């Protein structure tokens, strides 16, 4: 049965969730009170960020009238279900999560809830937040005890957010209180279509639901940093981390996914989420339990420094007067997100050491130019690599994997490539005359 839904927050999470809910047949009002221009853009069918499939989805659902946008909480007053999809960035100068946007949303939304409603938290928050919010909603909402909270963490991958919303690998509900059964049934109505396909639905308490997201991201970050730690050992021993990952990944207790050695993880989720998890564990008196995440974070940062070192080695020990080309600005392919981008941090570090650094990326250049104005930028690969002394592959876009290595060799000063993503065909680049280096692998030259 279609429901009236509100979605608060129009970042990558909220915008995608709103469009997907409308596509599932619900009537959705999507609201952003802090960035009203986003509501205007999305209402006009323009996405303010790159997410594959979202443009097409907006074009499909906007003409139906099931998806509208607003900038005032009052527009959400008549909805049955309200999704909180605002950001929880890292606090400036701290590891802890900044819940300013979540708390402001709760305060603003609660005051317009004059009838029974279900509020659903999707934002990534420290454990204990849901219980606090549930109490606050009942305190200030005119409907009082008739306003219930469910915590429904998101597990979206940037670049695959539409797919992960309508066909996730699991759906988690955190419920508590006397109305838990009815709340679960109401959320089942929201997700009726994906649930009908057999997607697992897990029901648990607030704290466990909050910890599912924190634990999942911490595990993925740990697995990435583990193979990058092995990369460091491989470099010291003259071994090949790719062959190593293939061998251990065959073990079904380990698996090959997320064992790709490289420059590490970035973006707006993994780095800040593991730090917030550590901070919250400290507040709960469980700091030793997550002390290993400090090393996970440290390994991740070291890989960026190692990429700078490799590039400097290929520039005869100094970047002064050298030209460095960087393929990639986004923190991952299929995104224009540059938050905590390893590629841009490496590029900026090299620039500060004296090189002229030119960056290219299929989608992220507008964002990169704003955040790192002192770097040079080029719209295409050949322009970025012209007269380069070394080329760094730092975001795994298919365009870079499939590029004509022989053609590129003709425009660079020195055909030296350092693969920071470890997904290029080594033989093809070597056959085209390139010296090929990569994190965790022996020097491969012609």
Q: How far apart are CA 164 and CA 170, in angstroms?
A: 9
**Residues 158-165, mean pLDDT to the nearest whole number:** 95
Question: pLDDT of 189-217, one tens digit each?
Answer: 999 999 999 999 999 999 999 999 999 99
Asked whether residue 296 carries a pLDDT value surpassing 90, the answer given is: yes
What pLDDT was estimated at residue 204?
97
pLDDT per residue as tens digits for the range 67-125: 999 999 999 999 999 999 999 999 999 999 999 999 999 999 999 999 999 999 999 99
DSSP-assigned states of every residue in 251-269: STTT-STT---SS---SSS
Nearest residue to 432 (alpha-carbon basis) of 395, 398, 404, 399: 404
175 vs 130: CA distance, rounded Å: 10
> What's the mean pLDDT in 50-56?
96
pLDDT digits (tens, 9 = 90+) for 319-347: 999 999 999 999 999 999 999 999 999 99
The tokens for 437 are 């280096």
Please give the backbone phi and psi of residue 148, each rounded to the nearest 5 degrees, phi first: -115, 160
Which residues are registered as beta bridge partners of 357? 324
State pLDDT tens for residues 352-399.
Answer: 999 999 999 999 999 999 999 999 999 999 999 999 999 999 999 999
41 pLDDT more than 50: yes
Per-residue CA distances from 195 to 18, 89, 156, 172, 199 (Å): 18, 31, 17, 12, 5
Kindly tell me if the per-residue pLDDT of 31 is higher than 80: yes
230: pLDDT strictly greater than 50: yes
Q: Has residue 446 got a pLDDT over 50?
A: no
Diameter over CA atoms, the chain: 74
CA distances from 15 to 53, 87, 158, 192, 405 (A): 12, 12, 13, 20, 38
pLDDT at 311 over 70: yes
Distance between CA 429 and CA 444 in Å, rounded?
Answer: 10
Closest CA to 345 of 303, 401, 399: 303
Alpha-carbon torsion angle 37, 40, 42, 47, nearest 10? -40
What does the pLDDT read at residue 177? Answer: 86
Q: What are the structural domains of the chain?
A: 4-204 (3.40.50.720), 210-446 (3.40.50.720)
Q: Known catalytic residues? A: 269
| Residue-wise pLDDT tens digits, 121-142 | 999 999 999 999 999 999 999 9
Over 90: is that where the pLDDT of 178 sits?
no
Task: Give per-residue pLDDT as tens, 266-275.
Answer: 999 999 999 9
Residue 179 has pLDDT above 90, yes or no: no
Q: Is the pLDDT of residue 445 over 90?
A: no
């Amino acid at each position: 049965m279609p429901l009236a839904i509100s979605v608060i927050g129009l970042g990558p999470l909220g915008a995608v969730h709103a469009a997907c809910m409308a596509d599932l047949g619900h009537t959705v009002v999507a609201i952003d009170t802090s960035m009203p221009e986003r509501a205007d853009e999305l209402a006009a069918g323009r996405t303010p960020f790159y997410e594959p499939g979202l443009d097409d989805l907006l074009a499909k659902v906007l003409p139906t009238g099931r998806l509208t946008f607003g900038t005032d909480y009052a527009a959400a007053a008549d909805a049955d279900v309200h999704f909180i999809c605002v950001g929880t960035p890292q606090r400036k100068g701290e590891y802890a999560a900044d819940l300013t946007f979540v708390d402001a949303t709760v305060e603003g939304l609660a005051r317009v809830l004059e009838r029974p409603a279900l509020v659903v938290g999707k934002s990534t928050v420290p454990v204990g937040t849901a219980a606090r919010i549930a109490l606050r909603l009942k305190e200030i909402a005119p409907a009082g005890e008739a306003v219930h909270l469910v915590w429904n963490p998101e597990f979206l991958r940037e670049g695959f957010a539409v797919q992960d919303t309508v066909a996730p690998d699991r759906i988690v509900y955190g419920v508590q209180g006397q109305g838990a059964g009815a709340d679960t049934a109401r959320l089942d109505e929201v997700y009726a279509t994906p649930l009908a396909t057999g997607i697992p639905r897990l029901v648990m308490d607030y704290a466990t639901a909050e910890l599912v997201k924190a634990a999942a991201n911490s595990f993925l970050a740990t697995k990435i940093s583990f193979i990058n730690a092995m990369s460091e050992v491989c470099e010291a021993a003259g071994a090949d981390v790719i062959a190593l990952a293939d061998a251990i990944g065959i073990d079904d207790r380990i698996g090959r996914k997320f064992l790709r050695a490289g420059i590490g993880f970035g973006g707006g989720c993994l780095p800040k989420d593991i730090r917030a998890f550590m901070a919250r564990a400290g507040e709960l008196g469980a700091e030793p339990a997550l002390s290993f995440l400090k090393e996970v974070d440290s390994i991740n940062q070291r890989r960026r420094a190692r990429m700078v070192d490799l590039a400097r080695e290929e520039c005869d020990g100094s970047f002064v007067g050298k030209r460095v080309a960087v393929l990639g600005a986004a923190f991952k392919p299929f995104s224009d997100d540059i938050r905590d981008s390893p590629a841009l941090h490496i590029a900026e570090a090299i620039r500060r050491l004296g090189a002229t650094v030119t960056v290219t990326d299929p989608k992220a250049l507008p964002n990169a130019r704003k955040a790192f104005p002192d770097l040079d930028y080029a719209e295409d690969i050949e322009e970025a690599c012209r007269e380069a002394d070394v080329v760094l592959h730092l975001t795994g876009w298919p365009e870079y994997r499939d590029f004509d290595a022989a053609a590129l060799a003709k425009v660079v000063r020195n055909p030296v490539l350092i693969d920071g993503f470890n997904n290029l065909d080594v033989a093809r680049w070597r056959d085209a005359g390139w010296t090929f280096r990569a994190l965790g692998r022996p020097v491969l030259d012609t």
